[in-house]
Amino acid sequence: MKRRAAPRSPAAETEAAGPPNARDRAAPWRVFTARGWGSVLAEAVLASAGIPYERDEVDPSEPGPGRDRLRAANPLGQLPTVVLPDGAVLTESAAIVLDVAELVPGAGLAPAPGAPDRAAFLRWLVFLVAAVYPTFTYGDEPARWVTTASDELRRSTDEHRKKLWKQLEGVAAGPWFLGERFSALDIYVAVMTRWRPGRAWFAKSCPRLHAIAEAADGRPAIASLLAANFEG
Ligand SMILES: N[C@@H](CCC(=O)N[C@@H](CS)C(=O)NCC(=O)O)C(=O)O
């Protein structure tokens, strides 16, 4: 992982010969966070991989120094946004998932390249970020995008999202999304089912996804993180 190499030193040379993860674990990652926002995805992925990180708590919706720091790192002002130990910025939750899965394959976040369920993993990972996530981007604050029919944009993106979730319900295998193996897809299900239309709708309309979300809620590595973001 040359891109993250620290300035060379004898110690660094020795370290570079070791497992590629050792250097990445040496300094903490920095995660911009806001309670209940998409930062939870990055935090849960890092926690699942045992990678230490620091939080930089911001309010992306309020002008101020926090939002300025976030926008300096990510001009979209979106979460998740993380800063790697070498100062490089990583945005886009799927990129974060894939990067961490490569760094720590033992965390089981993704099937290995060539594994039978790799294609399904990639397909539904990208579906979550390219189809489901934008329904929030355009529906959360419709007035950012249209000057009339804001309510209609909110309603239509909410309805479209329900259709997308039903499609996912149809392919979710259980007990985890991919079947017997946990993956980062289950983290997305745990987090995104907390957002509109919310867990009560999933319990009724997408019981398989609801069961996956509840199982992921209880994973020891992420249980307290999820509770801190979504409960109480
Ligand atoms: N494609 C991005 C989407 C991230 C995203 O939309 N995050 C939401 C928070 S849950 C956000 O920051 N919304 C504010 C905005 O889009 O301005 C990803 O997968 O990371």
Ligand 1 geometric centre to CA of 19 (Å) = 33
Report the candidate in 197, 66, 160, 47 with the shortest Cα–Cα distance to residue 107: 47
**Pocket lining for ligand 1, CB < 6 angstroms:** 37-38, 60, 77-80, 92-94, 129, 133, 136-137
Identify the band that residue 26 occupies on the pLDDT scale cut at 50, 70 and 90: low
Q: Which atom of ligand 1 is closest in space to residue 144's alpha carbon?
A: 17
pLDDT, residue 14, reads 35
| CA-77 nearest atom, ligand 1 | 17
Strand partners, 29: 53
Band of residue 13 on the pLDDT scale cut at 50, 70, 90: very low
User: Is 15 a residue whose pLDDT tops 70?
Assistant: no
Kindly give the distance from the C-alpha atom of residue 207 to the centroid of ligand 1, in angstroms, as a whole number: 26
- What distance in angstroms lies between residue 9's CA and the mean position of ligand 1's atoms? 39
Q: Give the position, in ligand 1's atom list, of the atom nearest the Cα of 130.
A: 1
Nearest ligand 1 atom to alpha carbon 136: 6
CA 17 – ligand 1 centroid, Å: 37
Q: Determine the residue of 79, 100, 194 to mutate for testing ligand 1's pocket, defined as the one with the most ligand atoms within 8 A of the Cβ atom.
A: 79
At the top level of CATH, the class of 118-219 is mainly alpha
Which residue CA neighbors atom 18 of ligand 1 most closely? 92
CA of 23 to the centre of ligand 1 (A): 29
- Which residues, in sequence order, are CB contacts of 98 under 8 Å at separation 6+? 110, 125
The predicted pLDDT at position 21 comes to: 52
The Cα–Cα gap between 134 and 144 comes to: 14
Does residue 10 have a pLDDT over 70? no
The residue extents of the domains of the chain are 2-107, 118-219
CA dihedral of residues 173, 175, 179, 183 (deg, nearest 10): 110
Residue range 103-154, pLDDT digits in tens: 999 999 999 999 999 999 999 999 999 999 999 999 999 999 999 999 999 9
Per CATH, domain 2-107 is 3.40.30.10 = yes
* Percent of the chain's residues with pLDDT above 90: 88
| pLDDT band with cut points at 50, 70 and 90 for residue 27 | confident
Higher-scoring residue by pLDDT: 12, 158: 158
pLDDT in tens, 165-201: 999 999 999 999 999 999 999 999 999 999 999 999 9
pLDDT, averaged across the chain: 91
Q: Say whether pLDDT at 19 is over 60.
A: no
- 21 alpha carbon – ligand 1 mean position (Å): 28
Instruction: Extract the tokens encoding 198.
Output: 């919310």
| Residue 218 exposure: Cα atoms within 13 Å on the Cβ side | 6
Asked whether the predicted pLDDT for residue 62 surpasses 50, the reply is yes
Beta strands in the chain (DSSP E): 29-33, 53-57, 81-83, 89-91
- pLDDT over threshold 60, residue 25: no
Average pLDDT over every residue of 50-72: 98
- pLDDT for 93-104, tens place per residue? 999 999 999 999
What is the pLDDT at residue 36?
98
Q: Which of 133, 138, 145, 188 to mutate to test the pocket of ligand 1 (most atoms within 8 A of CB)?
A: 133
